[in-house]
Amino acid sequence: MSSIRPLSRVASVFTTPRAPEDFLWLVNPLSSSRQLRGVVTAVIPETSDSATISFRPGRGWKAHQAGQYARIGVEIDGVRHWRSYSLSTPGGSDPAITVTANGRVSETLVRRTRPGHVLFLAPPQGDFILPEHPRPLLMLTAGSGLTPVMSMVRTLVGRRRDADVVLVHSSRTLDDALFRNELAALDEEHTGLRVVHWVTTDQGRIDLTRTHDLDTVVPDWRNRAAYVCGPAEMLDAATALWQSADVPGQLTVERFAPVLLAGAGTGGDGGLVTFETSDKEVEVDGSTPILEAGEDAGVVMPSGCRMGICRSCLTPLLAGQVRDLRTGEVHGDEGELIQTCVSAAAGPVHLEI
C-alpha cells in the first residue's frame, strides 16, 4: 500500500486537475473511487414492455437480501437520472433488475440499454425482506410489484425443503404477467409453491375491501405471513383488511411511493429552487418533490427509499420554506435538513447541493 501512494502522487502531476482514478474508467469502466458502477451483462425481454437487466457491479457493492432494492443511475442526454428498482434475482446472487417501461428512465433502461453499457449504482437497501424464521407465506402482488417477491420466491423455492409459499399475482392479462413461464415451471416442480394468476380483464380487480376473494383462493391466509406489493390503493386496502381481521402483525407492505396527504402541495405553491453548489435553478410546481426536480435538472441528489422513511435524502436548506407532501405542513429554517423526497417548494428555495 505504501508504494501505491507515491505512484499516485507522481501520476497526479500528469492528470491535474483531475485525480488519476478519474481516468481509470477508460481501461475499466467499473473503476471509480467516487461512484459505484456496474456493467450490463444481459438484457432479457420479459413482456412487450419490460425487461430484466443483469449487471456486474464494481467494488463496493454488497450482496442483496431477497426483496431489497437499489438506486440505479443512467445518463440521458448528458444528465444523470436516478431511480430505485427492486432486485429480482435470488438473495446473494449476481444482481438484476426487472423494469417495466413507464417513465423516461424506465423507458431508457428497457428500450435502449445493451450489454456493455455502464450503470451508476447505490448499494442495496430496504426492509421488505423474508422473515428470519421459516413459516407459511402469502405473496400478494400486482403488476411490477411482483419483482421483489420474485427475488423471494427464487431464494426460497428449491433451496429450502420447508418452503410453503402461495403467490397470488394480479395482472391485466396473462400475457402481461411477468415471469409467467418461469413461475409455471416452479409451480409444477416444487410442492412448496402454489401460484395463482388473477386476471383482471376476466375477474375484475381482486377485492380487498372484504375477505371473500382471499377466503376463496387462500383459505388459510390469516395464518400466513403476508407480503403485499403493488399499486398504492391495493396496499391501503390490504392494510385495512388485515387490521379488520385483527392480524395486522402478519402483513408487510412495500410501497414504491410515499403516502401523500390529499391536496398537499397544491393551491399555488411552488417556486424557483436554486441548487447552490451545483449552480442550477429550476421552477417547480407545488406538487413535485424537490428530489425529482433536482434529478430532472441534472443535480446529483442523495436519496434512498424515496418515501420519507430512510432519511438518506436529507439536504441543508439555506433559505426559503418547503411543504411536507405527507402532511401539508410548511416549514423551513436556515440550515434545517429537509427530506427532499417528500418536500415541495413553498415559494423560492435555496439548497446547499
The pLDDT, as a whole number, for residue 265 is: 42
The pLDDT, as a whole number, for residue 267 is: 42
b/e 140-176 (16+ beta carbons within 10 angstroms → b): bbbbbbbbbbbbbbbbbbeeeeebbbbbbbbbeeeeb
The pLDDT, as a whole number, for residue 137 is: 97
- Contact between residue 132 and residue 65 where contact means Cβ atoms under 8 Å apart: no
Query: Letter for the amino acid at 319?
Result: A
The pLDDT, as a whole number, for residue 263 is: 46
Whether the upstream peptide bond of residue 17 has omega within 30° of 0, thus cis, is: yes
Say how many C-beta atoms besides its own lie within 10 A of residue 115's C-beta. 12
The pLDDT, as a whole number, for residue 9 is: 53
The pLDDT, as a whole number, for residue 259 is: 55
- Cα–Cα distance between 46 and 172 in angstroms, integer? 15
- Average pLDDT, 10 consecutive residues per value, the chain (353 residues): 47 50 52 77 94 95 95 84 90 95 89 96 91 93 94 91 94 93 95 96 94 97 96 92 94 74 54 90 91 89 79 87 90 87 92 91
pTM, full prediction: 0.71
Say how many C-beta atoms besides its own lie within 10 A of residue 114's C-beta. 9
Query: Which grid cell sits at 25?
Result: 474508467
The pLDDT, as a whole number, for residue 148 is: 96
Q: Which structural domains are found in the chain, ordered by start?
A: 17-121 (2.40.30.10), 137-254 (3.40.50.80), 270-351 (3.10.20.30)
Task: Give the contacts of 102 (CB within 8 A, at least 6 positions apart).
Answer: 49, 144
- Cα–Cα distance between 348 and 325 in angstroms, integer? 17
